[in-house]
Amino acid sequence: MLLNMLKKDFSRKKSITIALFIFILLSALLVSAGSSMIMELSNSLNNLFTASKAPHFVQMHSGELNQSEIDDWTSKNDLVKAQQTVEMINIDGSNLYLGNDTESEKNSIMDLDFVRQNTSFDLLLNLESQVIQLSRGEIAVPIYYKQQKNMNIGDKVKITTPSFDMEFTVVDFVRDVQMNPSIIHSKRFVVHKGDFEKIKSNLGEIEYLVEFQLNDFSKLSEFSNAYQSSNLPKKGPAVDYSLFKTLNSITDGVVAAVIIFVSILLNVIAILCIRFTILATIEEDYREIGVMKAIGISQSYIKKMYLTKYVVMAAAASIIGFLASIFLNRLFTANIMLYIGTAPKSVFQHLISFIAVVLIFLMVVLFCSLVLRRFKKISTIEALRSGNIGDAKVKTGSLPLHKSKFFNIPIFLGVKDVFQRFKMFRLLLIVFLVSSFIIIIPVNFLNTIQSPSFISYMGIGQSDIRIDLRLTDNIVERYKEMNSYIKNDKDVAKFSPLVTSQFKMINNDGALENISIETGDFSIFPLDYVNGNAPTSDNEIALSYANSKDMEKNVGDQLQLVVNGTENNMVVSGIYQDVTNGGRTAKALMPFNADAVLWYVVSLDVSEHTDIKGKIAEYEEAFYPAKVTHLQGYLDQTLGNTIDQLKLITILAILIAIFVSILITSLFLKMLVAKDYAQIAILKSIGFTLRDIRIKYVTMALLVLNIGIILGTIVSNTIGQKIVSIILSFFGASQIKFVIDPVQAYILCPLVLMLVVTITTLISIISIKKSSISEMIVE
């Protein structure tokens, strides 16, 4: 009996059943793919960190280094399992040519470092996650350049200076556990140790990575405090294992979260459609339900008959969605496979995806069961007497026809119908709201991340040009000369010299640790602060969001710094957002620590009619080998990969929203036309033309759509903005403010939805021409 009922119901409602099936299938597919992507990311990261023997603690250092002091300290520290010091030769971008480019890397913001393969840990891997081994004349290039420059095996890499030339052939690409992501502004090129020594003897600008592996990773904090309290090299930032993992997972982690979020939204739409369909079915079968109750069929069995259809449909859609996700996973994990590699698939990974799909299935079944409790309200006598459900009645008495004298009558009737039967139109309203939400959030976030103002979320004030000066023997003199040159340049409207150096800080445990503080005037190129404001006196300090969380400090709290051997109480004046360097930075007006300078930066704005490209070229020549960057280029190079991923997500979101709008509008209107069959026939009989009736239904659809778009825009710019902020808070930005392109957000996106909904409405109401009063009377 149940099987026959299922067959009959499917043949009667093919389009509705297929649509619901597709929604559940897509929801299951996406939630399976998203959860699988998270598992893939986690497993692949663990595999990469294991294969490369990732260091637990790395201290970067510029300047002279005494290895014997490091060895002596290491031998006395029981926490240390292994130690190595990695030499890196920094190559100025103007001297490096990659692939077929005739332009050098002079505009690159990346620190370009040549290294040899490590021997004990921090191993540099190829695309098969094997340890790279090279011969003379060969080079392995960071994956970043394979993606950004479309480099291939066999391409050439050239180092060219007035006194030295060297050419390499690309034979591999580097998976670097420390420097993979584009958000890290250092990249390691691997060469043979003989070639390394040759470059070193000719160029010779060396930086160091003092690396440690520990016997017990849980004691990393204890080890870090011990190292920071020592006299060992530390002219540079310190990074650790946890930060490496966070930075390697940023882009793909966000993509996976978005996929799961879209999956949940689709499941919500599927559930709402199922509710509407169930209620419509109960109304259609109201008399039959009354008959079944009258002849003694139990309520639980009647409920089971109706529930079975949705259980079977949800189960089939979930299984197919899960199986399809297995084949589509390569599409979703392509970036993971390129940058991180893939770990062997485990049964547990498939099990997590399957459990996620089961949850989608259970949500659908549970909701169906809750909706079908409505059977309790059905009275056998009332069903047999009236043959229709009680709550199907429409409100009357509002918006009388005589008030339509200022409006076209079909339009007035459409508006009147929506308000009188608003409860029924809720489904369409929510679908349009969700569709607007799915479109507007990615579009607004894409505009935000591409906007020049996004630089403020990287802890940098917005300016035209940024100049980074590397540490060299005569760095102080060069920095003074650069400031003098810029100060006397008539094309410069304003400039701000900033110096980042390290200070000792007394942490919450009473131990000394390093803190990197940028000093200078922060009123010239101000940041937006989450709380408080920029420091205005030399006893105030502003902390990045990540630092404030780690230190458990808020605005007004005190911080103990050790300056020239004396403890200084600093007051936290403000908290700002920074997604770079793990988000752990600080800003103050105090004099910088000349003995522990990390880098020098000058930000500047040029006057209105100045050629920025020409000015950058002038500064590159005048301040060589400083890095002179247009801020937009800085953003593109840092977040280029993330922006590309987000563009893909935005296109997918728009297509999904359009597909959902078409499908639901079509189904809803077909059901509405069938429901209004008698009403349409009456309208035709009293003189309404087919065109008038179509205008009425288009008006109804567009009115609901416009309400949905307005609500969707409000929700996107409030709740949606908050959701993006929550995701990015893990990376150092807790209060994202959307940069909204009004043409895109308020004109183009709504117009696309309006056009789609109008065309869908016109197609969906074709059956209206078949309605006639005579047919209704016969029936």
Give a yes or no: residue 229 inside a domain.
no
d(CA 341, CA 355) in angstroms, rounded, equals 25
Confidence of residue 689 (pLDDT cuts 50, 70, 90): confident
Q: What is the pLDDT of residue 320?
A: 92
Q: What is the pLDDT of residue 390?
A: 46
Give a yes or no: residue 769 inside a domain.
yes
The total number of structural domains in the chain stands at 4
Name, in order, each residue with C-beta under 8 angstroms of 346's C-beta and a sequence gap of 6 or more. 43
* C-beta of residue 720 within 8 angstroms of C-beta of residue 440: yes
* C-beta of residue 24 within 8 angstroms of C-beta of residue 326: no
Query: Helix 286-294 crosses helix 241-284 at what angle (to 10 degrees)?
Result: 80
CA distances from residue 154 to 100, 150, 170, 171 in whole angstroms, order as listed: 11, 12, 5, 6
The two structure tokens encoding residue 541:
């300090």
Same domain, 638 and 654: yes
- Tell me which residue has tokens 């998270």: 38
* C-beta of residue 153 within 8 angstroms of C-beta of residue 170: yes
Strand runs (DSSP E) across 465-552, as ranges? 465-469, 492-506, 512-519, 529-532, 540-544
pLDDT 10s digits, 545-559: 888 888 888 999 999
Same domain, 39 and 142: no
pLDDT 10s digits, 469-518: 876 667 788 888 999 999 999 999 999 999 988 888 887 777 777 788 89
Strands 465-469, 627-630: pairing is antiparallel
d(CA 310, CA 526) in angstroms, rounded, equals 57
HSE (CB half, 13 Å, CA atoms) of 288? 9
Roughly how many angstroms between the first and final C-alpha of the chain, as a whole number? 28
The two structure tokens encoding residue 400:
């009388």
HSE (CB half, 13 Å, CA atoms) of 120? 10
The two structure tokens encoding residue 715:
């929700």
Q: Is the dihedral of CA 656, 336, 155, 205 positive or negative?
A: positive
Q: What is the pLDDT of residue 295?
A: 77
pLDDT 10s digits, 381-397: 555 555 454 444 445 55
* 301: helix, strand or coil: helix
Best CA proximity match to 751, nearest among 691, 673, 647, 661: 661
Same domain, 164 and 300: no
Same domain, 10 and 33: yes
Q: What is the pLDDT of residue 581?
A: 61
pLDDT exceeds cutoff 70 at 5? no
Q: What is the pLDDT of residue 68?
A: 92
* C-beta of residue 539 within 8 angstroms of C-beta of residue 568: yes
Q: Centre a 10 Å sphere on the Cβ of residue 134 and count the other Cβ atoms it contains.
A: 21
The two structure tokens encoding residue 391:
């709550």
* 133: helix, strand or coil: coil
d(CA 691, CA 271) in angstroms, rounded, equals 34
pLDDT exceeds cutoff 50 at 778? no
Mean residue pLDDT across the chain: 81
Q: Centre a 10 Å sphere on the Cβ of residue 636 and count the other Cβ atoms it contains.
A: 15
Same domain, 682 and 717: yes
pLDDT exceeds cutoff 50 at 579? yes
**DSSP letter (8 states) at residue 744:** I
Q: What is the pLDDT of residue 594?
A: 80
d(CA 320, CA 309) in angstroms, rounded, equals 17
Among 173, 188, 216, the domain boundary falls at 216
Confidence of residue 6 (pLDDT cuts 50, 70, 90): low
Same domain, 151 and 15: no
d(CA 273, CA 649) in angstroms, rounded, equals 25
* C-beta of residue 491 within 8 angstroms of C-beta of residue 535: no
* Amino acid code (one letter) for 346: S
* C-beta of residue 212 within 8 angstroms of C-beta of residue 83: yes
Among 393, 424, 439, the domain boundary falls at 393
Same domain, 381 and 248: yes
Among 576, 607, 625, the domain boundary falls at 625
Q: What is the extent of the structural domain holding 650? A: 409-453+632-779
pLDDT exceeds cutoff 50 at 708? yes
d(CA 42, CA 36) in angstroms, rounded, equals 10
Give a yes or no: residue 370 inside a domain.
yes
Same domain, 369 and 430: no
Residue 500 forms beta bridges with which residues?
518, 599
* 81: helix, strand or coil: strand
Strands 492-506, 138-142: pairing is unpaired
pLDDT 10s digits, 316-358: 988 998 888 888 777 777 777 777 777 777 777 778 888 989 9
Same domain, 621 and 586: yes
pLDDT exceeds cutoff 70 at 204? no
Find how far residue 198's CA is from the centre of its chain.
43
321-339 residues labelled b (16+ CB within 10 A) or e (exposed): bbebbeeebeebbebbebb
Give a yes or no: residue 400 inside a domain.
no
Give a yes or no: residue 318 inside a domain.
yes
Choose between 321 and 237: higher pLDDT: 321
Give a yes or no: residue 461 inside a domain.
no
Strand runs (DSSP E) across 150-205, as ranges? 156-160, 165-174, 186-191
CA distances from residue 145 to 120, 174, 199, 341, 714 in whole angstroms, order as listed: 26, 10, 21, 16, 40
Residue 557 φ then ψ, to 5°: -70, 160
Confidence of residue 399 (pLDDT cuts 50, 70, 90): low
CA distances from residue 48 to 174, 240, 336, 728 in whole angstroms, order as listed: 12, 16, 11, 24
Give a yes or no: residue 221 inside a domain.
no
pLDDT exceeds cutoff 80 at 109? no
pLDDT 10s digits, 484-496: 999 999 999 999 9
Q: Is 566 exposed, middle or buried (0-12, 13-18, 19+ CB in 10 A)?
A: exposed
* C-beta of residue 461 within 8 angstroms of C-beta of residue 526: yes
Q: What is the pLDDT of residue 779?
A: 45
Question: What is the widest separation between alpha-carbon atoms in the chain?
Answer: 103
Best CA proximity match to 530, nearest among 732, 327, 735: 735
Q: What is the pLDDT of residue 394?
A: 47
Same domain, 485 and 603: yes
Sheet strands side by side (includes 111-115): 96-98, 156-160, 165-174, 138-142, 186-191, 111-115, 80-91, 206-214, 57-62, 238-240
List, as own/partner pairs, every contact residues 410-415 make where C-beta atoms lie below 8 angstroms and the sequence separation is at least 24, other chains included. Answer: 410/688, 410/692, 410/693, 410/695, 410/696, 410/699, 411/695, 411/696, 411/699, 413/696, 413/699, 414/695, 414/696, 414/697, 414/698, 414/699, 414/700, 414/703, 415/699, 415/700, 415/703
pLDDT 10s digits, 644-679: 777 887 888 888 888 888 888 887 887 777 777 777
Strands 206-214, 57-62: pairing is antiparallel
DSSP string, 89-119: EEE-GGGEEETT-SS-STT--SEEEEE---S
* Amino acid code (one letter) for 542: A
Give a yes or no: residue 466 inside a domain.
no
Lowest mean pLDDT, pick from 68-72, 539-543, 727-731: 727-731
* C-beta of residue 86 within 8 angstroms of C-beta of residue 208: yes
Confidence of residue 403 (pLDDT cuts 50, 70, 90): low
Same domain, 240 and 200: no
Same domain, 696 and 620: no
Segment 200-206 mean pLDDT: 81
Q: Centre a 10 Å sphere on the Cβ of residue 303 and count the other Cβ atoms it contains.
A: 17
